[in-house]
Amino acid sequence: MSTLVNARVVTADGITDGWLRIGGERIAAIGSGPAPHDPAGTVDIGGRLLAPGLVDIHIHGGAGASFTDADPERAMAVVEFNRAHGVTSLLGGLVAATPEDTLRQVSVLAELCDSGELAGIYLEGPYISTGKCGAHDPALLRDPDTAEFRRILDAGRGHVRMVTLAPELPGALDLVRAAVSEGVVAAVGHTEATYDQTRAAFDAGSTVATHIYNQMRPLHHREPGPIAAALNDERVTVELINDGVHVHPGAARLVRDTVGPHRLALVTDAMAATGLGDGEYTLGRLRVRVDGGEARLTDTGAIASSTIVLPEAVRRAVRDLDAAPVDALRAASGTPAAALRLADAGVLETGRYADVVVLDDDLAVRAVYHRGRAVTRGN
């Protein structure tokens, strides 16, 4: 046990001068003002920000590895790279694949969920629109199949947390209801749905909009489509890839002003190239070229995931969207954790896991604690 002192503690209500005591894997106590004596010792963090560990609910890879590799060591490379950068909870994100490959990938990731390394598994597809497939192989897309989905859930042993689908596809609403009945979050994305079709998905139980704007019917004043449906619905958490490539800051600011930090979830949608230099990589079965940090499919030029880690999205929200630091941090921790019902993540509270990130005033990560243990910081 030790106590982090001389901190500016980030809570849902704001920033308060205070301290946080770690007891084993969990937060033993937290308070304002001077810290009480701790015989186990203290760590002076020098007046820096003490925030919840960040939570990325939409990520596919990093450090040269992908969750689609179906390799525990390579999946852990993604986890450890992100953890060292302050992302203490993340889902293992998969893309459209054959039924056999999906089952194999989910089975491998379930092992890391069992051990607590991953917070869950995320299925982006295969039940998405071929017209809005983005960096998914259109040959692998198919209509929603509840029987297949239940086989995937069985392979995941209760760890599948979210699935993205296009609500205009045959059987989509049935799959939304099936997902919700199993405790899985249904998300709307990669879709050509109308406003009414999207609303029907939300009424059926869908509660997340996957990377708003990207690969969905565009906003139009007479055909508002899924973007307006998501922004207008208080039940829906809205993902935003705030990397300066996927969404113009003006459009991102519209989302921020409309939904606020309690419904905005900053995500990366990051791929294997994250943390590496320019070059050629793969996303699923597709080839991707990264140039200047911007990832695009080599054959179509479509944007293919991002190459940022979540703290960069937070900094961009403050710098480019005029978000308050506490709101930007909430959008990268408490809000996505609540959207996925991750009970121990996203908030600094007594009894929760001691997942903590220490940041400078410019929101640069200076130290990370995962379940009470200091994480070795890499580059």
Please tell me what DSSP assigns to residue 221.
Answer: S
DSSP 329-346: HHHTTHHHHHHTT-TTSS
Phi-psi region of 296 (alpha: psi -120 to 50; beta: other; left: phi over 0): beta
124 is in an annotated binding site: yes
**Angle 172-181/146-156 helices, nearest 10 degrees?**
30
CA-nearest of 104, 153, 99, 105 to 127 is 99
Q: How far apart are CA 54 and CA 256, in angstroms?
A: 18
3-state SS of 186-218?
A: EEECCECCCHHHHHHHHHHCCCEECCCCCCECC
38, 243, 269, 327: which one is catalytic? 269
370 is in an annotated binding site: no
Residues with Cβ within 8 Å of residue 32, at least 6 apart in sequence: 9, 16, 17, 18
190 is in an annotated binding site: yes
The amino acid occupying position 357 is V
Respond yes or no: is residue 154 known to be catalytic. no
Q: How far apart are CA 128 and CA 104, in angstroms?
A: 20
- Helical ranges in the chain per DSSP H: 72-84, 99-114, 146-156, 172-181, 195-204, 225-232, 249-259, 310-321, 325-331, 334-339
Backbone angles phi, psi at 188, to 5 degrees: -100, 125
Q: How far apart are CA 337 and CA 353, in angstroms?
A: 13
Task: Provide the 3-class DSSP secondary structure of residue 154.
Answer: helix
Q: How far apart are CA 324 and CA 331, in angstroms?
A: 11
CA-nearest of 222, 242, 244, 240 to 231 is 240
3-state helix, strand, coil in the chain (%, to 5): 30, 30, 40
Q: Give catalytic residue positions.
A: 269
